[in-house]
Chains A and B, each alone.
Chain A
Amino acid sequence: MNAPLEDPRLLRGKPVKDRILGEVADYVRSVPHIGKLVSVSIGDVPEVAIYIRNQARAAEAVGLPFDQQFWDGETAQEECKLRIQEMNDDPDVLGVILQRPVPSHINVRSLQSAIHPLKDIEGMSPASIGNIVYNDVAMAPCTAASAVELIRETGLNMEGLEVVMVGHSEIVGKPAAMMLMAEGATVTVCHHMTRSVAMHSRRADVVVVAVGKAHLIGADMIKPGAAVIDIGINQVRHEDGTVGIVGDVDTEAIKEIAGWVSPVPGGVGPVTVAILMRNAIKAHQRQQEAGWLNI
């Protein structure tokens, strides 16, 4: 049997990821010296192991040193903050990644704020988010930036495009809405209090979904030819008892209506880690411009 042909309606993340990592690797090769990325995990959080592994692999692929630090789960907030401030001052640290979740005694927002905006490659601190709001989208939160990157991949001109963002979370929905607005789209943000999500999603040229509800968006909610970007990750038990991952979108059904749909897994996910690496080289450029690096 022949391998099935690739469905052009599926917006796969892998080629986008490979392209971005290639660009990042070229940049890293072109500079004489570049600092390391530091991944900080506080306490024992087995669920982040896979994310760290992916980040470490991507860093290796582009030639960025990757330092995995595991801090004791009892480490006090103040001590964590001090260590982050030391990294802010260390010219050999290019960027800091704070893995989540953190132990309950740690205020994660306060720690994220402690990371200097020029080293905040996850784009999570208030100053980084504020930059997004003000149209400086260079170091954007990775998931939101990945969604924008996949939309760009369709070739649609974002100026004047009707975009409906379903979900208004602080880490994905709101920054994605701001970034799409910066691109010139007319953005509507829907959420759990919206009277009729379908009324909005049906008129949209692009629907971006980040809610965390398996198959919330069905084919009847999508305009023919629209692009659908699925950011949801939901664990479900299939009828045969196996466990799998599905998105917020009923991909199989929507594929027949939409112009493009990003699958889960394999859509936004793979792009995220590539964006993290791209943010790292943006950080390098910004640190250079700020006169931090004497090279």
Chain B
Amino acid sequence: MGANIIDGKAFATNVRRQIANQVQRLCDDHGITPGLAVILVGEDPASEVYVAAKHKQTVEVGMASFEHKLPADTSQEDLFALIDQLNSDPAVHGILCQFPVPDHLSERNVVARIDPAKDVDGLSVVNAGLLASGETGLVSCTPLGCLMLLRDQIGNMSGKEAVVIGRSNLFGKPMAQLLLQEDCTVTIAHSRTADLSAVARRADILVAAVGRAEMVKGNWIKPGATVIDVGITRIPHPEKPGKSRLLGDVAYHEALDVAAAVTPVPGGVGPMTIACLLANTLTACQRANGLEEIKDLTA
């Protein structure tokens, strides 16, 4: 049990504290309050929980939170009208539409409608392109959170072997881009990769994001590696009938014996996501007002 356990919850609390200080300063020095608008279409119970958590943390760091709950049968036209209005509202610096949206709406079109400078989820085509072009944009929250944890854990990542398992638009691809920006040698492995365990074993930095419980075994991990586990799978609890528990993509207890540092599930990467959403909102607000942004809170 040698590995350092990366406490994402404590780290996220620190990030939020740092954001709260910045928000206070923006208010004192410039009379500006960063604002985050969250749109929820329909009544998905899981989405309601996420939106409530986002609202609570937004208010806690001193930002303005604008919630827009729309009925499930909202037309694309009406949704776009709301997005247009938020795009031009100077009190709103970040806009996110909680996914999934009902079937008659296209997530891609919804994201494309949001002003890229306010796309705090970093999912628009323009922001993906800016990241891939090494330019300033807004970076998807979960990869940004992983980057912060890695910087804290490792410091300079230049020349390290990094392997990202999973090539999703939401996570794998932006994560790979961020690691390239840090001058890691990056391999993106996925379901079609011939010998996944051998590829994983090369990694000084191993990031798993496929959503298959405990797929990454202890013998997939290079001794001394830093392991970031982004997967979350809910399984029935083995001892408590009717209860469930969460598992990551990494066989956690095996990893503890081999790796230098591991993120647990839950309590590792998860708490970083909302913290990074707030970080992006702060950054978007600072950019919108021509103020200096905080390096620690951006890519």
A129 close to B (CB within 8 Å): yes
Q: Chain A residues with Cβ under 8 A from B137's Cβ?
A: 126
Q: Find chain A residues with CB under 8 A from B173 CB.
A: 133, 178, 181
> Is A91 close to B, CB under 8 A?
no
How far apart are the CA atoms of A128 and B199 in the complex, in Å?
Answer: 30
- Of the stretches B180-188, B230-238, B274-282, the one at the interface is B180-188
Residues of B within 8 A of A170 (CB): 132-134
The 0/1 profile, CB within 8 Å of A marked 1, for residues 97-141 of chain B is 000000000000000000000000000111111111111010000
Contact residues of A between 35 and 84, Cβ < 8 Å to B? none
- Cβ of B194 under 8 Å from chain A: yes
CB distance from B67 to the nearest CB of A (A): 28
Please tell me which one of the listed residues A130, A174, A186 contacts residue B194 in the complex, with CB atoms under 8 A apart: A186
Contact call A129/B132, Cβ cutoff below 8 A = yes
- Provide the B175-209 mask, 1 if CB < 8 A to any CB of A, else 0: 01100100111111110111000010000000000
Q: Closest CB of chain A to B122's CB: distance in Å? A: 11
**How many interface contacts (CB-CB < 8 Å) are there between A and B?**
97
Binary CB contact string for chain A from 133 to 157 against chain B (1 if under 8 A, 0 otherwise): 1110000000000000000000000
A109 beta carbon closer than 8 Å to chain B: yes
Q: Is the CB of B192 within 8 A of A130?
A: no
- Say what secondary structure dominates the interface of chain B: mixed
B145-168 interface bits toward A, Cβ cutoff 8 Å, 1 = contact, 0 = none: 000000000000011010000010
The answer, yes or no, to whether B169 is at the interface (CB within 8 Å) is yes
Total count of chain A residues near the partner, CB < 8 A: 34
A65 CB, nearest partner CB in chain B, Å: 29
Please tell me if the beta carbons of B129 and A127 are within 8 angstroms of each other in the complex: yes
B-chain residues with CB within 8 Å of residue A162 when the two chains form the complex: 194
A133 touches B185 (CB 8 A): no
- Which interface residue of A135, A186, A194 has the most chain B CB atoms within 10 A? A186
Instruction: Write the residues of chain B forming the contact surface with A, with a CB cutoff of 8 angstroms.
Output: 124-135, 137, 158-159, 161, 167, 169, 173, 176-177, 180, 183-190, 192-194, 199
Residues of A whose CB lies within 8 Å of any CB of B are 109, 125-135, 159-160, 162, 168, 170, 174-175, 177-178, 181, 184-191, 193-195, 200
What 6 pairs across the A-B complex have the smallest Cβ distances? A130-B129, A126-B129, A130-B125, A129-B129, A130-B128, A188-B187
